[in-house]
Structure 1
């Protein structure tokens, strides 16, 4: 995209300034070695011994002591105040997938804002990693190899319809809506396939499913367009 600051053909780890579990950053970096920080998230990176390839945000949380440890050409200031630093960073990173840590946990308003960003940029595949769960925006069609009994919560951020296979309670024929029907606490029967008729549906899965979700998202990006479930 025109304003992209970081472009990679490999997965990217994005670290924010929120709560960070002891192993969150290293778990993400093992899967996505290129590190980008959203503003104050650079403190987490430096404290763990990593110098990010880029720092993106309005920089109001960037400490001077941290700034001096960074090459100046890696600092990208986005001055507008209408969006969050997660928004600024995600829209300026182009990668097959972004693993985002330091955005779940802590303040509830920050978490809700992060979920809003996932829906606003469906063309930027991103998985939010939390203490026990992961959250991501579902593409138009996705097949995930899950474990029988895994909790699969589907939360609509707008009105959306779709179809499913491999869920204890299929979503076929349902209209999901944040003000009416939502899809929390469903259960996988094994492999799950979900197809949606438009954007706006978030999936919340166990953190142990991270690798399976990454494989599924990569596969969905290389599948022939227009592939749908069922009828």
Structure 2
């Protein structure tokens, strides 16, 4: 278990080493100005003109040039190899919410690993921000105002059931599973409410709903759903 390294009372932006546009990072920082980098995400931050206030990881991806340019006081080496740097960073941050950029896009294996981490039990809720979508783990009822026709994809990473309102195709009574029934390309009819009976249900939502999603995630914050 990674020790808590960053403790903040306001949301935190976490940057990874994947694809990230400067506009996406600036957008995240407008809501969560405390910037943390997961390993090679520090290179991305400096490239985009920002300096992280903490760097967390095994430092296998952190360039020598970036490492030497940063103060040792903000470099937090977590050498274990059982978890990804995204997982290490999320577990090391205590905050109302994490906005994570640079974990979607580029290599598919890295994206799958990020989704795996998102579905694990963590004390701090997290929003993965991509170029076109945002992704969250539904651990508490999620209520959100959307525009009719907005795509709402639900993807189970474990067998899970739940309930919904405001979706064209409700999920109540369905057994969702990555090996059988999934819920991609659903559509909102207006305001939505999604509730899961256990862990593992990811919601993929339109990128432009981020301003409304942030307070919704904070309002619905609850302890992570634990697997039996």
Instruction: Give the TM-score normalised by structure 1.
Output: 0.92
Pairs aligned (count): 222
Q: In structure 1, what is the equivalent of residue 220 of structure 2?
A: 220
Q: Distance in 2 between matches of 1:35 and 1:82?
A: 25
Within the alignment, does 1:78 sit opposite 2:78 as a pair?
yes
Q: Which runs of 4+ in 1 moved over 3 A?
A: none
Whether the 8 Å contact between 1:151 and 1:205 is mirrored in structure 2 is yes
Q: In structure 2, what is the equivalent of residue 179 of structure 1?
A: 179
C-alpha deviation, 1:212, in angstroms: 1.3
C-alpha deviation, 1:69, in angstroms: 2.1
Query: What are the ranges of 5 or more consecutive residues in structure 1 without an aligned counterpart?
Result: 226-231
Within the alignment, does 1:29 sit opposite 2:53 as a pair?
no
Whether the 8 Å contact between 1:150 and 1:206 is mirrored in structure 2 is yes
C-alpha deviation, 1:49, in angstroms: 2.3
Whether the 8 Å contact between 1:140 and 1:198 is mirrored in structure 2 is no
Deviations 1:165-212 (A, max 9, x none): 111111111110000000001111111011111111000011001111
Q: In structure 1, what is the equivalent of residue 129 of structure 2?
A: 129
Q: In structure 1, what is the equivalent of residue 114 of structure 2?
A: 114
Q: Distance in 2 between matches of 1:80 and 1:2?
A: 9
Q: Distance in 2 between matches of 1:127 and 1:37?
A: 15
Instruction: Give the TM-score normalised by structure 2.
Output: 0.94
Q: Distance in 2 between matches of 1:189 and 1:112?
A: 29
Deviations 1:18-48 (A, max 9, x none): 1112412111111110000000010111122
Q: In structure 2, what is the equivalent of residue 156 of structure 1?
A: 156
Query: What are the ranges of 5 or more consecutive residues in structure 2 without an aligned counterpart?
Result: 223-228
Whether the 8 Å contact between 2:2 and 2:78 is mirrored in structure 1 is no
Deviations 1:91-143 (A, max 9, x none): 11111111111110011011000000001134321111111011110122111
Q: Distance in 2 between matches of 1:123 and 1:19?
A: 26
Q: Distance in 2 between matches of 1:123 and 1:187?
A: 30
